[in-house]
């Protein structure tokens, strides 16, 4: 079973691609050395490491115990790490210059709670920075929205699977948001926004195909698709693994042009706290 980090890395075309997207958002945030920062949904601490290159005054929050344990190993002991739901924070109000949430906005089922928490914890004119998943980029949908069906159909004859089943990647979170429809509530004023799109290239595509092999296992329960089962070149495992890899690679190279190899589209948002009237 893949670790959380490994799953994300493969899904996004490798660790380098993942860190690239984090770095882009942190640069957008324009954090100053003197800024006190609260990071919500810090995950395993990779994003926190990038934030620490801008300021040392960081408090990071993560609800998942496994991810927090990794963050504790990864980050300096001087960084306060809180394993709890960000909504349960009991810090003094108005103490942070910046609240940043990287790849975590979609975890808040009620966005009103997200904004209310940020408004309470930010100082006067404090800044809220986060990224919002977008439905598409210039009409192009992320490959994660349709590749599970391609995977399923590529093995349907061999596995005798249900041809009417809708194949989905449960790790991918879709979004109805677009650049034109997203807005922040009256507690905040949208100061800036920036559309960010990340694409697979020849270097990152092998990682994505590796990820799709794990999707194939999830869809069929058959672990013969995984590289670790390749065995002898004449074995069933090797044949299954090799045939699947070639089919998926051929489909992408023939059916998905480079400009459509979209990993994800996001809206980077900077919102300024408004005083309540």
How are beta strands 96-101 and 262-273 bridged, if at all?
unpaired
Average pLDDT of adjacent 10-residue blocks, the chain of 277 residues = 89 95 98 97 96 97 95 96 88 88 90 93 96 97 94 72 76 92 95 97 94 89 70 59 86 95 97 85
What integer pLDDT is reported at residue 161 of this predicted model?
Answer: 61
What integer pLDDT is reported at residue 154 of this predicted model?
Answer: 81
Residues 210, 89 within the same domain:
no
Q: Is 9 exposed, middle or buried (0-12, 13-18, 19+ CB in 10 A)?
A: buried
Q: Tell how far CA 11 is from the center of its chain.
A: 9
Backbone φ, ψ for residue 116 (5° rounding): -65, -40
Backbone φ, ψ for residue 208 (5° rounding): -70, -40
Q: Give the dihedral sign, CA 170/176/177/183.
A: negative
What integer pLDDT is reported at residue 205 of this predicted model?
Answer: 94
Residues 78, 45 within the same domain:
yes
Q: Please, how many CA atoms are within 13 Å of residue 18, restricted to the half-sphere of its CB?
A: 21
Residues 59, 150 within the same domain:
no
What integer pLDDT is reported at residue 91 of this predicted model?
Answer: 67
Residues 15, 126 within the same domain:
yes
Residues 118, 79 within the same domain:
yes
Residues 164, 192 within the same domain:
no
The CA-based diameter of the chain, rounded to the nearest angstrom, is 74
Residues 75, 189 within the same domain:
yes
Joined tokens for residue 186: 């009256």
Helix (H/G/I), strand (E/B), else coil: 272: strand
Backbone φ, ψ for residue 237 (5° rounding): -60, -45
Are 216 and 18 in contact by the 8 Å Cβ rule? The answer is no
Residues 191, 242 within the same domain:
no
Residues 24, 107 within the same domain:
yes
Give buried/exposed letters for 72-94 (b at 16+ CB in 10 A, else e).
beebeeebebbeeebeeeeeeee
What integer pLDDT is reported at residue 104 of this predicted model?
Answer: 92
Domain extent, residue 269, equals 4-135+175-198+264-273
> Which value, in Å, is the radius of gyration of the alpha carbons in the chain?
21
Joined tokens for residue 146: 């349709």
Separation between Cα atoms, residue 131 and residue 240, nearest integer Å: 39
Joined tokens for residue 42: 């810090």
Residues 103, 209 within the same domain:
no
Q: Is the pTM of this model over 0.85?
A: yes
Helix (H/G/I), strand (E/B), else coil: 162: coil
In this structure, what CATH number is given to the domain that contains residue 35?
A: 3.40.50.150
Q: How many domains does the chain have?
A: 2
Residues 98, 157 within the same domain:
no
Residues 183, 160 within the same domain:
no
């Amino acid at each position: 079973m893949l670790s959380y980090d490994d799953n994300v890395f493969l899904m996004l075309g490798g660790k380098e691609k993942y860190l690239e997207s984090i770095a882009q958002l942190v640069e957008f945030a324009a954090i100053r050395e003197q800024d006190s920062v609260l990071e919500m949904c810090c995950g395993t601490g990779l994003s926190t490491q990038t934030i620490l290159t801008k300021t040392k005054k960081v408090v990071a929050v993560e609800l998942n115990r496994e991810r927090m344990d990794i963050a504790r190993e990864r980050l300096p002991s001087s960084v306060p790490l809180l394993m709890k739901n960000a909504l349960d924070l009991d810090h003094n109000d108005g103490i942070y210059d910046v609240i940043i949430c990287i790849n975590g906005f979609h975890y808040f089922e009620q966005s009103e709670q997200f904004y209310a928490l940020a408004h309470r914890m930010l100082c006067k004119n404090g800044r809220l920075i986060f990224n919002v998943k977008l439905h598409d980029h210039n009409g192009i949908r992320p490959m994660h929205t349709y590749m599970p069906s391609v995977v399923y159909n590529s093995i349907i004859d061999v596995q005798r699977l249900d041809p009417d089943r809708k194949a989905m990647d449960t790790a991918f979170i879709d979004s109805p948001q677009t650049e034109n429809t997203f807005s922040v509530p009256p507690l905040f004023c949208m100061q800036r926004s920036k559309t960010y799109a990340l694409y697979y290239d020849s270097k990152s595509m092998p990682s994505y195909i590796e990820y799709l092999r794990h999707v194939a296992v999830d869809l069929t329960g058959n672990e013969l698709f995984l590289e670790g089962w390749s065995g002898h070149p004449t074995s069933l495992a090797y044949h299954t693994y090799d045939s699947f890899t070639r089919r998926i690679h051929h489909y992408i190279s023939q059916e998905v042009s480079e400009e459509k190899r979209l990993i994800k589209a996001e809206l980077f948002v900077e919102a300024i706290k408004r005083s309540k009237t």
